[in-house]
Structure 1
Amino acid sequence: MTQGNIEYGLNDVVELKKGHPCGANEWKIIRLGMDIRLKCQNCGRSVLIPRLKFNRRIRKILSKGSAEE
């Protein structure tokens, strides 16, 4: 999937413009569709964000994930 020039996929670790209340700002993409499910890499909590809102909030990809994870 693309957002401007950012391509993201399943199991990628991304940084968003706003951090999680636990203090971390690293999220793993665990579901793609109309909504995107993200898992906080610090506390393990997951959130479901509509794709359009996610596309506005993504800042950069920290690491690419593999498809078999």
Structure 2
Amino acid sequence: MDEKLNVGDVIRLKKQHPCGGYDWEIMRIGTDFRIKCTTCDRQIWLPRREVMRRVTKVVSRKEEE
């Protein structure tokens, strides 16, 4: 995945979360990403490499003001 990801974007990951959701909202970007499950609101930290490897598509982009 070579697209640029931004805070507020919703992404779909390859593996399903235990709650049943696939979609995650990006909360913080840096060396590690903080992402939040859109189904159960659980937040996790993943290394940048893991997120980029697991992303299948960008579901929605945050509106730029």
Scaled by the length of structure 2, what TM-score is found?
0.91
1:67 and 1:20 map into 2 onto residues whose CA distance is: 28
2:33 corresponds to which of 30, 33, 36:
36
- Structure 1 residues not aligned, in runs of 5+: none
Q: List 4+ stretches of structure 1 deviating above 4 A.
A: none
Q: 1:14 and 2:3 equivalent?
A: no
- Structure 2 residues not aligned, in runs of 5+: none
Does the Cα contact within 8 Å between 1:15 and 1:62 map onto a contact in 2?
A: yes
The alpha carbon displacement at 1:65 in A equals 1.1
Identical counterparts, % of pairs: 40
Count matched residues: 65
- Indicate the RMSD between aligned Cα atoms, in angstroms: 1.4
1:24 corresponds to which of 21, 25, 50:
21
